[in-house]
Amino acid sequence: MTIGIQKQSVPMRWAAGPLDIARRQTGKDFVPETAEVLRRWQDPSLLELLKGTPINCLVVSWASGLPADSAQPLALKPLVEKGRQAGLDIVGLIEGGADKAAAIASARQAGLQAVAMDAVPPGDCGIEVIAWGKAGGALWGADSPVLCVADGIWPGVPLEKTPTGGPTNLPWVDSNGALLGMTGAMAPGKPVWIVVDPPRKAKVTVENYLLTVADAEAYGGRWLISLDDQLRKELADRSAPALAAWGRLTGSLAFFDGQRKAAGELERMGRLAVISDFSEGDRAFGEDILNLLPRLREPFRVMARTQALSASFNGLQGIFYMDQEPPKAGLRERLTNFARGGGTLFVRTKWPDPEGTPVQPSSAEAYLLFSMRSLGKGRLGVAREDEPDTYFTCADIQNILSHRGDPARLYNGASMNYLIQTARRGRQGMIHVLNYSKRPGSDNAIVYMRAPYKSARFVSPEIAAPVALDWVPQAAGGVELDLPSISVYGAVKMES
């Protein structure tokens, strides 16, 4: 059985019906108005909201192990039939203590294109099954057309009174970049949907939605669109402000849909690669590193340990092997050869019998979390502590590599992250810039490139047309681009 749920799918979580009401009734924030909105969204006429938008797939609650499971298929029957007539793919979510076999059978009978659940059963179920669960080995190894990462987070600058980032001027930001980096490395080529609902106790603005879309798209995934109760109520009322917000949200989806089709096959670029299998023992450390490197403005590539033996090391200056378990002989030889050829290899404390000759650190380097060793034309850095501070680990790696070798830098925009992608032949490139504060700064962001492309254009869902940018040569070498102001997202598209 084939369905259209692949890379081109643009999904939306369509909360409606007695099962969603029953699920929400268990929460402390439940009010009667919530139930009324969920009943109203059973109305097939609301599918008119999707006309002219890229959204082509709806995920509906189908079974959760609650008494309301039996009423849900009948309540959603008109919506499902109307959706199918409109060419939409309908996916039924099966979760909790649901009778999975019975739920799959009722989904087939109702004409759903697929079901989503936490474990893909073996054999042919007569319907496509999509893997839905927390990022980890079970999800990454699932035989599924799409991976739904259920532990996504709501992106932005956290509202905590105490900063949670490192001791720099750059605040911590919440992003799904680490989850998508891990999943993309461990399940290469699989479309990934990030699952996260708007927070119920916070005011949600249209900029929140735009950032959540952009955060997922920039890092190679898609957000499973999910609306807050107030916006769904106002859309059902056909409120003009709500329709305007909806237009901006779907316009952003259309922008990224077009960018995906135009960009071709671009790959993440950086002078540093991080390698791990992100297994249980190394998951927290590795995920922290993936979250912190962007805050230090260090572009990097993510490699699965199983892929590192054959992955390209071209353009790399440093590699961080993040797992405590040493690599097998073949991978160890490749990594140490990288160092012998002039690169810098960073490893954890349990790397047995380190290669090379110890280097006596200067007084200024005595604080480093790595003991450095000379190895051929390059260096080997062995961590001094079993559980080092992840922020200072990232900072030390960056300092050891030194900023002189930076292929790119981002200046200004304290709440911004950026990442770089290039085509394999180097003729095209893209720099994604994400603003987690959701408001323009007083100083525009500036991008430095050591080696410029022939042309550069700035694109964003926030501007009507691409803006041509001029490379400004710098006295110390390299060039800079002064970027237009953005609230949420913009990208520099480059061609040689």
Domain annotation covers residue 306: yes
pLDDT in tens, 136-189: 999 999 999 999 999 999 999 987 644 445 555 578 999 999 999 999 999 999
Please provide the average confidence, as pLDDT, over all residues in the chain.
Answer: 92
pLDDT in tens, 229-266: 999 999 999 999 999 999 999 999 999 999 887 666 78
Q: What is the pLDDT of residue 154?
A: 97
Domain annotation covers residue 5: no
Q: Would the pLDDT of 473 be above 80? A: yes
Q: What is the pLDDT of residue 8?
A: 85
Average pLDDT of 445-473?
94
Please indicate, yes or no, whether residues 234 and 199 belong to a single structural domain of this protein.
Answer: yes
Q: Which two tokens stand for residue 61?
A: 């609650």
Please indicate, yes or no, whether residues 346 and 419 belong to a single structural domain of this protein.
Answer: no
Q: What is the pLDDT of residue 161?
A: 41
User: What are the CA-CA distances from residue 467 to residues 142, 159, 248, 262, 463 (Å)?
Assistant: 42, 34, 20, 17, 9
Domain annotation covers residue 18: yes
The rounded distance, in Å, linking the Cα atoms of 294 and 417 is 6
Please indicate, yes or no, whether residues 257 and 138 belong to a single structural domain of this protein.
Answer: yes
Please indicate, yes or no, whether residues 239 and 329 belong to a single structural domain of this protein.
Answer: no
Please indicate, yes or no, whether residues 44 and 162 belong to a single structural domain of this protein.
Answer: yes
Contacts of residue 248, defined as CB under 8 A and 6 or more positions apart, other chains included, come to 206, 209, 210
Q: What is the pLDDT of residue 30?
A: 87
Please indicate, yes or no, whether residues 375 and 439 belong to a single structural domain of this protein.
Answer: no
Most confident of 121-130, 249-258, 355-364: 249-258
- At residue 483, φ and ψ (nearest 5 deg) are -90, 145
Per the structure, the count of domains in the chain is: 3
Please indicate, yes or no, whether residues 89 and 235 belong to a single structural domain of this protein.
Answer: yes
Domain annotation covers residue 367: yes
Please indicate, yes or no, whether residues 233 and 85 belong to a single structural domain of this protein.
Answer: yes
Domain annotation covers residue 198: yes
- At residue 107, φ and ψ (nearest 5 deg) are -65, -40
* CB 457 within 8 Å of CB 175: no
The rounded distance, in Å, linking the Cα atoms of 66 and 64 is 5
Q: What is the CATH number of the domain that holds 369?
A: 3.40.50.880
Boundary (domain end) residue, out of 357, 386, 405: 405
Q: What is the CATH number of the domain that holds 83?
A: 3.20.20
Residue 360 pLDDT grade (very low, low, confident, very high; cuts 50, 70, 90): confident
Residue 122 pLDDT grade (very low, low, confident, very high; cuts 50, 70, 90): confident
Boundary (domain end) residue, out of 219, 234, 263: 263
Domain annotation covers residue 55: yes
Boundary (domain end) residue, out of 234, 263, 292: 263
Of residues 261 and 482, which shows the higher confidence score?
Answer: 482
Domain annotation covers residue 464: yes
Question: In terms of residue numbers, what domain contains 299?
Answer: 271-405
Q: What is the CATH number of the domain that holds 481?
A: 2.60.40.1180
Of 157, 402, 420, the residue nearest 263 (C-alpha): 420
Please indicate, yes or no, whether residues 401 and 414 belong to a single structural domain of this protein.
Answer: no
Please indicate, yes or no, whether residues 283 and 257 belong to a single structural domain of this protein.
Answer: no
Q: Would the pLDDT of 226 be above 90? A: yes
Task: List the strands of the sheet with 192-194, edge to edge.
Answer: 11-13, 57-63, 89-94, 114-117, 128-133, 147-149, 192-194, 222-223
Q: What is the pLDDT of residue 364?
A: 67
Q: What is the pLDDT of residue 162?
A: 42
Of 48, 52, 55, 46, the residue nearest 15 (C-alpha): 46
Q: Would the pLDDT of 2 be above 60? A: no
Please indicate, yes or no, whether residues 381 and 428 belong to a single structural domain of this protein.
Answer: no
User: What are the CA-CA distances from residue 246 to residues 18, 49, 53, 61, 228 (Å)?
Assistant: 25, 9, 10, 22, 12
Domain annotation covers residue 476: yes
Which residue's entry shows tokens 């572009």? 299
Across 279-309, b (16+ Cβ under 10 Å) vs e yields eeebbebbbbbbbbbbbbbbbbbbbbbeebe
Please indicate, yes or no, whether residues 297 and 258 belong to a single structural domain of this protein.
Answer: no
The rounded distance, in Å, linking the Cα atoms of 196 and 213 is 11
- Min mean pLDDT across 40-49, 109-118, 340-349, 422-431 is at 422-431
Q: What is the pLDDT of residue 5?
A: 73
Residue 83 pLDDT grade (very low, low, confident, very high; cuts 50, 70, 90): very high
